[in-house]
C-alpha cells in the first residue's frame, strides 16, 4: 500500500493528484489507524454514492483529467512523452487491483483491529485500458473540462461549462432543410479541416436559428460550442488565444447579435472576422444569429439625421454582415408550412388526434400569440400533449 501511495505521488502525464479518491488512497498508507480507516471509508462511500466500480472511476478519472502532456504528444509524438503516459496508466492499472478485501487485509495486518473486517466494501471491477485508449480519447474529445463538457459560456473572461445543454438533434427539427443543409455542410467542412466560413443566421424570431446551431453538438464528437454574450464580444481576441492550441474544433456562438452606436464590440468583431486583430485559428469559427437586417440599432438622433448619415449607418452595418462568409435566412412559415410542422411533431410524439381538429387548435394557438413559427408550433404541441394527458378537450375554452 505504501508503494502504491508513493507511485500515485509520481504521476506525470495526468493531473490527478488532487482527486478525492487518489488523495484518500494515499492516506490509506498512513501509520495512524484512524487516518487510514477514515480514508478507506471515504473511498468506499464515494464509489457507492456514484454507483461505480473502482476501475470505472479510475477510467473516468484519466479520461476527464487535465492532460497537457497528452495533448502535446498528439501534436508531436516522442518516446519520452509516450513513456510518461504509459507509466501513469500502469500505476492506475495497479491501483485498480486493490479490491476492498485486499485493502482490509492490509489494514488488519498493520493495525490488528478486528472491526476492520466488518467495514463496508466497494467493487473493484476490471481495468482493461492501455495508453493508446486514453491518447485516442484526448485526440477525439480533448482533456479536462473540454472532455467532460461540450457547451460553454464565456463570461467576463472566464470559460464556464454548461452542465445540461439542450440535447436537441438535427433530425428533430422540422422544415428549413435548405437552410440547415448549408450550415451542416459548412460545419462538416470545418470538422474535416477544409475551408469553412463564419456564419450569420438571419431571420424571424422562433424559426430555429439558435436551435440549429446548438443541435450541431449532437452530431460531432470533437465539436464544442462557446456562447458569447454581446457584452463580451470585445474579449474575442482573448478567447481566441485561449482556444487556439486546443485539438478540438470550436464554434463561438453569438445569439441575437446587434450593436448600439459607438459599441466597442462592433469594431472588435469586424476586425476579428477579417483577421486584422488576430488571425483566425484553424479550429475556431463564429456562428451568430440576428433578427435585425441592420446590426447597428438606430437611436433617436440617427433616425432624425440626414440621408448621408443614414446611408453611412447602413453601410457600416452591412460591412459587418459581409464579413460572414455564409449568410443564411430563416423566414417565418406560412400557414400551410406551420401546420405541417405541427403535424410532424404530433406524429413524432405519437399523439392521436383528428387532423382537422388539430389544425383548428394549432391555428387558434398561433393567432393568440400573434404569429406562426417552429417555436410556436412546439409550444402548441407541448400544451396539446399535456391537455390530452389530463383528459382536457384542447378546443375547450
Determine the 3-state secondary structure of 269 from DSSP: helix
Neighbours of 378 (CB within 10 A): 18
Whether the Cβ atoms of residue 92 and residue 58 lie closer than 8 Å to each other = yes
Could you list the pLDDT tens digit for every one of the 397 residues in the chain? 889 999 999 999 999 999 999 999 999 999 999 999 999 999 999 999 999 999 999 999 999 999 999 999 998 999 999 999 999 999 999 999 999 999 999 999 999 999 999 999 999 999 999 999 999 999 888 889 999 999 999 987 889 999 888 888 888 899 999 999 999 999 999 999 999 999 999 999 999 999 999 999 988 888 999 999 888 888 888 899 889 888 899 999 999 887 766 667 777 787 788 765 566 788 999 999 988 766 655 544 555 555 544 544 555 556 677 788 899 999 999 999 999 999 999 999 999 999 999 999 999 999 998 899 999 999 999 999 999 999 999 988 7
Q: What is the spatial distance between Cα 257 and Cα 164, in angstroms, rounded to a whole number?
A: 24
Beta bridge partners of 170: none
DSSP string, 225-248: EEEE-GGGGGGHHHHHHHHTT-SS
Whether the Cβ atoms of residue 330 and residue 204 lie closer than 8 Å to each other = yes
Q: Can you identify the CATH homologous superfamily of domain 149-330?
A: P-loop containing nucleotide triphosphate hydrolases (3.40.50.300)
Q: Return the domain boundaries, the chain.
A: 2-144, 149-330, 335-389
Tracing cell 449568410 back to the chain, one arrives at 327
Task: Kindly report whether the global pTM for this prediction surpasses the value 0.75.
Answer: yes
Amino acid at each position: 500500500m505504501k508503494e502504491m501511495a508513493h507511485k500515485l505521488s509520481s504521476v506525470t502525464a495526468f493531473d490527478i493528484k488532487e482527486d478525492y479518491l487518489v488523495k484518500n488512497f494515499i492516506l490509506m498508507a498512513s501509520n495512524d489507524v484512524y487516518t487510514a480507516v477514515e480514508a478507506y471509508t471515504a473511498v468506499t462511500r464515494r464509489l457507492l454514492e456514484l454507483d461505480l466500480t473502482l476501475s470505472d472511476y479510475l477510467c473516468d478519472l484519466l479520461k476527464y483529467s487535465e492532460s497537457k502532456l497528452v495533448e502535446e504528444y498528439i501534436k508531436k509524438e516522442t518516446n519520452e512523452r509516450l513513456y510518461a503516459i504509459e507509466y501513469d496508466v500502469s500505476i492506475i492499472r495497479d491501483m485498480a487491483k486493490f479490491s476492498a478485501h485486499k485493502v482490509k487485509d492490509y489494514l488488519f495486518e498493520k493495525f490488528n483491529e478486528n472491526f476492520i473486517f466488518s467495514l463496508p466494501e466497494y467493487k473493484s471491477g476490471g481495468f482493461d485500458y492501455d495508453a493508446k485508449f486514453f491518447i485516442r480519447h484526448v485526440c477525439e474529445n480533448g482533456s479536462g473540462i473540454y472532455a467532460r463538457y461540450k457547451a460553454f459560456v464565456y463570461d467576463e473572461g472566464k470559460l464556464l461549462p454548461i452542465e445540461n445543454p439542450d440535447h436537441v438533434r438535427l433530425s428533430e427539427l422540422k422544415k428549413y432543410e435548405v437552410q440547415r443543409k448549408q450550415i451542416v455542410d459548412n460545419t462538416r467542412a470545418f470538422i474535416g479541416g477544409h475551408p469553412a466560413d463564419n456564419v450569420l443566421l438571419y431571420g424571424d424570431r422562433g424559426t430555429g436559428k439558435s436551435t440549429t446551431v446548438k443541435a450541431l453538438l449532437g452530431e460531432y464528437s470533437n465539436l464544442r460550442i462557446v456562447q458569447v454574450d454581446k457584452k463580451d464580444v470585445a474579449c474575442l481576441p482573448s478567447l481566441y488565444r485561449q482556444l487556439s492550441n486546443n485539438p478540438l474544433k470550436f464554434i463561438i456562438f453569438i445569439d441575437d447579435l446587434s450593436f448600439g452606436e459607438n459599441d466597442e464590440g462592433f469594431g472588435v468583431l469586424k476586425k476579428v472576422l477579417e483577421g486584422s486583430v488576430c488571425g483566425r485559428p484553424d479550429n475556431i469559427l463564429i456562428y451568430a444569429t440576428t433578427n435585425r437586417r441592420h446590426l447597428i440599432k438606430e437611436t433617436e438622433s440617427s433616425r432624425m439625421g440626414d440621408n448621408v448619415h443614414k446611408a453611412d449607418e447602413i453601410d457600416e452595418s452591412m460591412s459587418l454582415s459581409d464579413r460572414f462568409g455564409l449568410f443564411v435566412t430563416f423566414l417565418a412559415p406560412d400557414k400551410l408550412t406551420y401546420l405541417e410542422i405541427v403535424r410532424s411533431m404530433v406524429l413524432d410524439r405519437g399523439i392521436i388526434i383528428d387532423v382537422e381538429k388539430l389544425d383548428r387548435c394549432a391555428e387558434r394557438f398561433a393567432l393568440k400569440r400573434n404569429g406562426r413559427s417552429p417555436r410556436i408550433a412546439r409550444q402548441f404541441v407541448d400544451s396539446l400533449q399535456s391537455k390530452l394527458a389530463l383528459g382536457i378537450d384542447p378546443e375547450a375554452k
